[in-house]
Every structure is written in structure tokens, then in C-alpha cells.
Amino acid sequence: MTVESGAATAAAQSQQAQSQLTQSQQAQPQQAQPQQPLADQPPPERPEAAGGFVQLLTPEGERIDHPDYPLDLSAADIRDLYRDLVLVRRIDTEAIALQRQGELGIWASLLGQEAAQIGSGRALSPDDMVFPTYREHGVAWCRGIDPVKLLELYRGVSHGGWAPEEHKFGLYTIVIGSQTLHATGYAMGIQRDGAVGGDPASAGRPAEAVIVYFGDGATSQGDVNEAFVWASVFNAPVVFFCQNNQWAISEPLEKQSRIPLYQRARGFGFPGLRVDGNDVLACFAVTQKAMQAAREGQGPTLIEAFTYRMGAHTTTDDPTRYRLASELEVWKLKDPIERVRAYLVRTGLAEPEFFADVEAEAKQVGARVREACRTMPDPPPLSIFDNVYAEPTAILRAEREQYAAYLDSFETGAGR
């Protein structure tokens, strides 16, 4: 297929999809307008709403413009993004190796999703709040969470343990989709604090918004759909960032949806768009715009970052049982890091020394993470009883005392 015919096909699909949209609008019976001001204004049509996606950097490293997403990043900014991408991939690689060596119980790799996470993560302001799944290592990096904290969780030393408000980064959430409701509630809190732009009560304080991450599988969850309803009817300042990595463990996207995921937003009454999830610049641009809209009181946006889980679901998974190796080969050609490198090299925005420096830093970070993981002590046994309630209950105190006495009964002091 030539480029021209491909473009022509895309254009034809675009027209077809738009005419379908028009028909479905016409087919709707006349109804009384809902009360919510949001629903009075249909979500704006976007060129990519026909099935393509927003892309600013091709897999070959060619920079292309998009009318809705002018990008104002300096060469240094793009070099920083490249550095982020390389470092988080290195941390991920180290973590997989640590699991293989028995240092971690499990690891959920972000391989292939670096651009979606770094692009969106770097588009946030310090006051924005993030609600992650358990795979948002790249976003965690952007929020200043020490990667060693993430390893704690996967080593079994803690269930998380960072202070969410300190980093404006929520705890990893393992039940699929639960965090979308937390994010929406948090956004409703922002509204009540008068911290949405345009709110008279917001004068003098920076406007805030929330971003919540989830995957393609999560879009089937009731909680995610409830979060869409809540965010829509309350016009909450929240951006739903769906990394469609094509696979929910072994189940491909067609087991979750008959339509492109971003199109679901329309049914809930807010805009949705699809972005090339392997394009860090496009992910940055669409997230920045959607967050700004949320901060200004324009309500939620669903971003579908079209990407690919290049590794296994977790280190316990075996993708060879359910997907073809050729699929991975196709996606390797769209690698999120290689295209930035190609762009920086071809445009001369980075010298060879830059790449060597980043590589050296990656090695350092990897070595530090590895050492910190291997020397991480187990928590003391009696810490099991801590932080169940604000103050321990009588039952907890009794169990703690009994178990402490039991441990002390060993002559070797094996317990404590």
C-alpha cells in the first residue's frame, strides 16, 4: 500500500464515520434538553474522531503538525523527554531482572508504554493530582517518586507507602478501575474548594485538575463507567487517560469493546480522542490541553493512548500462549524511544555525547535501584499491626501483645 492510497483510505473511513455520526444524531428522537449545561453543548468534533489518532512524531522520527495541538517545546525539553524515556525503560528492565533473580515477587512491566506515561506525566502541573494503576512507573518517575518505592511494593515490603499528597500521586491501585472513582471524587473536592479556573472563589490560587490512568480492560469495569457518569454530570475537572495497550492479560481489545474506546466518551457526554500512545510529543500535547480544559471548568476528557504492551502482563504471564510474535515485531517498528532518538539525531538537536551521557546515567540509575532492592530489609514483624486504625483497637493491641510474646518465646530470638 502506498502512502497516498493509505491516506485516501483513511479519508474515506473518516467521511464514512462522520456520516454515520450525523445519521445517528438525526435518528435521535426530539427530547427535552437535559438540565446540565455540559449536555447542551455536544462535544466538539475533532479530525481524529473518525478513527485515526493525534500524532506529532512519526515512528520514523518525522515531526508533523496538528492544527489543534501546536507544540512549543524547546530542544532541551525534548532531550529531557528522551532522557525520561530511557531511564524509565532502564528501571523497568532492572526490575524484570530482579524478579527473575528472586528479589521481587512480581513486576508489571511498562515496556512499550513509556511515551504514553512520560508524555502525559510531564504535561501535568505540580498541583495536579494523579491516580495510577499498578503499572504507572513512568508517571511515578515524573512525580518524583523514588523507583525504589515502587520496588518495595513488588518485593512485598509494603503495599505502597508513599505519601500521596506530598507527590500529588495516589497509591498504586490493584483492583481494576477502582481508582477512577477516587479521582472523580477528588475532582469534585477541587470544585468544592473553588480551585477550578473561572470559579470566583478560585481567585489567587492555581487551578487544579486530576488525571487518572487505567487500561483497555478496565473500560469494561462498572467503576470506570460510573466514574464517567459522575464526572460528566458533575462536570468534574478530571482527565481519563486510558492506555489501550491492546491486551488485558490474554484478552485482546475485541473482548472489551465493539467500538474504539475513545468514542465511548461521547455517550457519556464529554469529549474523547485518540492519540498515538507511542508518541511522547503527542501524548504531552493532548494531555496538556485536556488538563487545561479541566482546570478551566470545561469538565472531563477521555484520552485513549493507542499503544502496545511489548512485554508480558506481569512477570508471571506468558504471552506466547495467546498472541503471535509477529504482532510484537510490528510494534517494535513503532518504538516510543527510537523515534525520539531518530528525530534528535536527524535534526541535530542532540550530539552523540548527549546519548552517551543518558546511557551512562541509565546505567547508574539501574545500579542504584538494583543495590537498593537487594539490600532492602524486611519490615519488622510487629509492624503488621500498624496503621489499621487511627488508634489501635483493644483487639489489635491484644493480638500484637500475644504475638510479640510468642516471638519472644523463641530462644534464638528468631522472631524479632
What are the residue numbers of the active site?
309, 313, 322
Q: Do 273 and 335 meet the contact criterion of CB atoms below 8 Å apart?
A: no
Which residue, 71 or 233, is less far from other proteins as judged by CB?
A: 233
193-196 long-range Cβ contacts below 8 angstroms, 24+ apart: 196/237, 196/295, 196/296, 196/297
CA 147, chain centre distance (Å): 16
Residues in the chain: 416
Which residue, 15 or 383, is less far from other proteins as judged by CB?
A: 383
The Cβ of residue 178 has, within 10 Å, a number of other Cβ atoms equal to 17
- Over the window 150 to 179, marking each residue x when it contacts other proteins by CB under 8 A and - when it does not, the resulting string is --------xxxxxxxxx---xx-x-x--x-
Least spacing, CB of residue 240 vs other proteins, in Å: 14
Which residue, 170 or 260, is less far from other proteins as judged by CB?
A: 170
Q: What is the rounded distance in angstroms from the CA atom of residue 372 to the CA atom of residue 282?
A: 34
Which residue, 330 or 388, is less far from other proteins as judged by CB?
A: 388
Q: How many residues bind other proteins (CB under 8 A)?
A: 44
φ/ψ of 388, rounded to 5, equals: -80, -45
Which residue, 3 or 395, is less far from other proteins as judged by CB?
A: 395
Q: Contact region for other proteins (CB under 8 A) — 59-67, 117-125, 221-229, 325-333? A: 221-229
The helix/strand/coil state of 306 is: strand
- Candidates 134, 230, 240, 268; binder of other proteins (CB under 8 A) is 230
Residue whose cell numbers read 538494583? 370
The Cβ of residue 186 has, within 10 Å, a number of other Cβ atoms equal to 21
Q: Do 305 and 244 meet the contact criterion of CB atoms below 8 Å apart?
A: yes
Q: Does 1 bind other proteins (CB under 8 A)?
A: no
Binders of other proteins among residues 177 to 206 (CB under 8 A) are 178, 180-193
Binders of other proteins among residues 377 to 416 (CB under 8 A) are 386-390, 393-396
Q: Do 36 and 300 meet the contact criterion of CB atoms below 8 Å apart?
A: no
Q: What is the rounded distance in angstroms from the CA atom of residue 273 to the CA atom of residue 300?
A: 12
Least spacing, CB of residue 65 vs other proteins, in Å: 37
Give me the residues that bind other proteins (CB under 8 A), please.
Answer: 158-166, 170-171, 173, 175, 178, 180-193, 222-223, 226-227, 229-230, 233, 386-390, 393-396
